[in-house]
Amino acid sequence: MKVTINRSILELVEGDITHQDTDAVVNAANPSLLGGGGVDGAIHRAGGPQILEECKTIGGCPTGEARMTIGGRLKARYVIHAVGPIYKDGRQHEPDLLVSAYRSSLGLASRHKIKSVAFSSISTGVYGYPMETAAEIALTTTRRYLEGHPEIQLVRFVLFGMMAYEVYERVLRSMKEAGRLNEGGSS
Ligand code: ADP
């Protein structure tokens, strides 16, 4: 599914983040930036040891923020390592921290003149964030950002498996039906 927001495209695909040909891919990292399972493990395996070497020089990243490295052997030139919150009960600032992880990633992309970004679904694996609420936050934060930042031409959410894809699609459709997408066209 694809929608236009202001002059940018927001797209949902089912697939693997490590195969994306966008300028940057966004990793669901942990605060150490020293690797982990899930998306993180897949990105380091596919991108090779150069990514971890650069991560080691950064010295970690607080929850709700993001840091950038080269993409190593990935097609993407850069990896943005975003640290989402561990979900407990939704009352430990998890929503604010997840918004902030997305906003920080998009802000880094703008500052580095990155025009296309592929996101994984931050916090919805080992960190346990309920997929539907996380999708609302991810898509709403991106929509708001793109409305003010046409320099980012494409944001693609890469959902791992049809179940995750269908949740994101449902949320994006309901945003569209509720008129919350100030878009120029869609498909
Ligand atoms: P977190 O620790 O932030 O929860 P995870 O890596 O455990 O991060 O999971 C984040 C999301 O990424 C989950 O929805 C998971 O299913 C998905 N995921 C796992 N591997 C990949 C991959 N190779 N490409 C895209 N998404 C993936």
**How far is Cα 64 from Cα 53, in angstroms, rounded to an integer?**
22
Q: State both tokens at 49.
A: 């040891």
Predicted confidence at residue 41, as pLDDT, reads 97
Is residue 141 included in any domain, yes or no? Answer: yes
> Residue 181: what pLDDT?
80
Please indicate, yes or no, if residue 172 is contained in any of the structural domains: no
Number of domains comprising the chain: 1
pLDDT score, position 186: 47
Give the contacts of 114 (CB within 8 A, at least 6 positions apart): 23, 24, 78, 108, 152
Residue 25 within a domain:
yes
Atom of ligand 1 nearest to the CA of 42: 23
Q: Is residue 30 part of a domain?
A: yes
Place of tokens 């346990």: 128
Q: Give the per-residue pLDDT at 77.
A: 98
Residue 171 domain flag: no
Query: Does the Cβ of 47 fall within 6 Å of ligand 1?
Result: no
Contact criterion met (CB below 8 Å) for 103 and 147: no
Q: Any idea what DSSP says for residue 83?
A: E
Question: Which of 39, 65, 159 is the pocket-test mutation for ligand 1 (most atoms within 8 Å of CB)?
Answer: 39
Instruction: Tell me if 17 CB under 6 Å of ligand 1.
Output: yes
The structure's pTM equals 0.97
Burial 61-100 (b: 16+ CB within 10 A, else e): bebbbbbbbebbebebebbbbbbbbebeeeeeebbebbbb
Residue 12 lies in a domain: yes
**Residue 105 lies in domain:** 2-164
What are the residues whose beta carbons fall under 8 Å from the beta carbon of 125, sequence distance 6 or more? 28, 37, 38, 39
Asked whether residue 175 is domain-assigned, the answer is no
Is the distance from CB of 65 to CB of 101 less than 8 angstroms? yes
| pLDDT score, position 35 | 86
Within a 10 A sphere around the Cβ of 123, how many other Cβ atoms? Answer: 27
CA of 184 from ligand 1 middle (Å) equals 31
Nearest residue (CA) to ligand 1, atom 20: 39
Give the per-residue pLDDT at 155.
Answer: 98
Catalytic residue set: 40
pLDDT (0 to 100) of residue 179: 85
pLDDT < 70 regions, the chain: 182-187
Give the model's pLDDT for residue 180.
Answer: 79
Would 78 be classed as within a structural domain? yes
What is the model's pLDDT at position 53?
A: 98
Tell me, using a 6 A CB cutoff, whether residue 127 lines ligand 1.
yes
Cα dihedral 165, 170, 172, 177, rounded to 10, equals: 160
In this structure, what CATH number is given to the domain that contains residue 45? Answer: 3.40.220.10
